[in-house]
Structure formats: C-alpha cells, structure tokens
Amino acid sequence: MFRIKFNLIWSKVNECCSHVIPGIIYPWPYKKPSEIGLALLWFTCCHCTIQSEPEVSGEGVIQTELQRTVTLLCLPDGGSETQADEELVWLRNGAVVSLREENKKGRSSVCVTPVIHEDNGATFTCHLSRNATIRASVTLNVTYHPQLSGSEEVAVEDESALVLRCDIWANPPVSSVSWTLNGSAVDLFAGGFTVTNDGFTSQLTASNVEKSVHEGTYQCTANSPVYGEHSKRFQVTLTEKTMKFPLMPMIAGLVVVIFTVLLAVVSRWSKITKLPNNCLKRVLKRQMSLNCNVLICKNEDVNDFFI
C-alpha cells in the first residue's frame, strides 16, 4: 500500500496559507557601516526560524494525521539589514520545492495538503539562498490507525487452502493482533492454522480445510496504542470439491490429432488430386474412418494410394 509517485507527492506541496500563521515581519533598523579605516563585517541574518500549524515541538517534530493540512512559514531572524531582501529556499527531503517569485523573499510559506502516508518522516528545510548553512528544519510525524473495517465473504472448496489477510499497517505500530472464529480464539493446533505477522499484514492460513472445522465467521482485531481496536470480519463458506477439467491436456491432444491428419493429407495430396470426384470422396471418407477395411474404386490408382 506505499506505492505514490514522486510527482504526485510534490503536487501536494504548494505555496499557500501564509495567512494561516498570523504575524507581520517588520524590517530591522538599517545602519550603514562607518568608514573610519576599520572594516566591519555585517550579517543580514544569523539564523532561520520555521513556524508551523500545527506547532512544532522542541525536537523539531510536527505531529499530524492523515488528510490534515500542515502549514510552514520560514522567517530569517537577527542581523542589521532589511529582512525583506533575504531570498529563501525550501527543500523536501533534500529536493528543492518550486516557489513563486513573490514567495521567496523576506518570508516564505508552503503547505502540505492533504497529508498522506508518504509524508510520514518527511523533512522540510528552509535556508538562505546566499548561504545554505543558515537553515532550519522540521520533520513530520504522521499518525494513522490500521485500515481494518467492514466484512468480506470468502468461499473455499473442501480440502483446499484457506488464506485470510488483515492490513495492520499503522503509526505508531499496533501493539497486538488477534484472530477469532465464531467468537472464540482460533485454535491453531486443532484447526491446523498458521499465523504470520510482518508489521504490515497479519495472515491466517490453513491447508486441507474441512467444513466442520473451518467454516464460520473469522475476525481479525488489531489494537493501536493511540486509536484503540480496529477489526475486520470474514464470512468463510466451504463448498464441495469439484473435478477440475484438464483443459490444457485436452487442447494439446486435439492439436496433435489435427496436425497428424493434416500431415497425412498433405503427404498424399498428389495422388488424391488424380482420383475422380466420386472416388476422391470415398478416399477421404476412408482416410477419416477406422471401421472401413476395404475400398473399391474404378480407378486403378486407388490401390497405389493406400500402399
């Protein structure tokens, strides 16, 4: 279930929402350096600050959820020159975010909307265009519950294999997963069940199923430390075993028979064309019939045809 292309992700990162974070940037007082034989070095900015909605934590992490909107505002701080002249650059996981010209100088904002799974762990960095070492970064922590809900009907033949899967992918990860059959915990030993869990999917399997043992209502329940329990049901019905028609062997046999007949006709075609019409029909009939032992034609070439 992670499979979103890079351009789809970037289509969500837009320049927007500067009004979401209130505040006005006032220019710093500007003083021209004195020229009294002493060279002074003036810094227009000593660092950058990122404000956000939701707020960023002290560790530089923004907590959010799926389908929400995250607004980021970058401001150059400190210095003695006008901040409105500072050009800013945004990066997402090291890649440059395209900005409009009016959204580059003095202050710059980006929005992530709606937040999706692939935004989890994404790092947004803002730095000065003239000095990339003056920067600030924040990281998104997107929380979501396992996508478990509803029910599904499953039909399985007797003596075949049963496979049930639950999507338990969540952030933070689920703390536990349980399987029940008709309201009771699945008896792994009695039913010959096997349960596997890779952190993304929980799978319940059983081979050589029997109606009296394996038919019923199964339920997969995942427990999230943040979102609680989520579950999905499977209504499993066992059907009688059917004889499977050997289609491929039958087709292969039919092809062999057809090619054999065609080769027989082609190998004798020169003799067939010399026979009279009536006799030709009888010859072809003789060629296709196994019950005809004797064929009499007025043309003497018929005897040579079957030699």
Residue tagged 């320049």 (tokens) = 15
Q: Are 193 and 204 in contact (CB under 8 A)?
A: yes
DSSP 94: T
Intrachain domains 47-143 and 151-239 with the same fold:
yes
Question: Burial code of 94-107, b = ≥16 C-beta within 10 A, e = fewer?
Answer: eeebebeeebbebb
Whether pTM exceeds 0.85: no
Three-state SS at 261: helix
CATH of 151-239, one of 3.40.50.10470, 3.90.1300.10, 2.60.40.10, 3.40.190.10: 2.60.40.10
Residue tagged 């039913």 (tokens) = 191
The reported pLDDT for the residue numbered 22 is 32
DSSP string, 225-253: TTTEEEEEEEEEEEE---PPP-HHHHHHH
Candidate from 1-5, 94-98, 111-115 with smallest mean pLDDT? 1-5
pLDDT digits (tens, 9 = 90+) for 219-275: 999 999 999 999 999 999 999 887 666 667 778 778 888 878 888 777 777 666 665
Residue 17 CB-half CA count within 13 A: 18
Tokens of 178: 């349980």
Whole-angstrom distance, CA of residue 74 vs CA of residue 138: 11
pLDDT digits (tens, 9 = 90+) for 195-212: 999 999 999 999 999 999
Domain ranges of the chain: 47-143, 151-239
The reported pLDDT for the residue numbered 261 is 81
CATH of 47-143, one of 2.60.40.10, 1.20.1250.20, 3.10.20.30, 1.10.510.10: 2.60.40.10
Whole-angstrom distance, CA of residue 274 vs CA of residue 300: 11
The reported pLDDT for the residue numbered 277 is 58
123-128 sheet: strands from edge to edge: 61-65, 135-143, 123-128, 88-92, 95-96
Q: Are 203 and 165 in contact (CB under 8 A)?
A: yes
Q: Are 96 and 88 in contact (CB under 8 A)?
A: no
Q: If you compute the radius of gyration of the chain from its CA atoms, what whole number of angstroms results? A: 39
Tokens of 96: 């440059």
Tokens of 66: 């799926």
User: What does each C-alpha distance from 45 to 31, 51, 135 come to in angstroms?
Assistant: 14, 17, 10
Close Cβ partners of 188 (under 8 Å, ≥ 6 residues apart): 194, 195
Whole-angstrom distance, CA of residue 205 vs CA of residue 188: 10
**% of the chain at pLDDT higher than 70:** 69
pLDDT digits (tens, 9 = 90+) for 49-93: 999 999 999 899 999 999 999 999 999 875 445 567 889 999 999
Whole-angstrom distance, CA of residue 128 vs CA of residue 104: 10
**160 vs 241, more confident:** 160
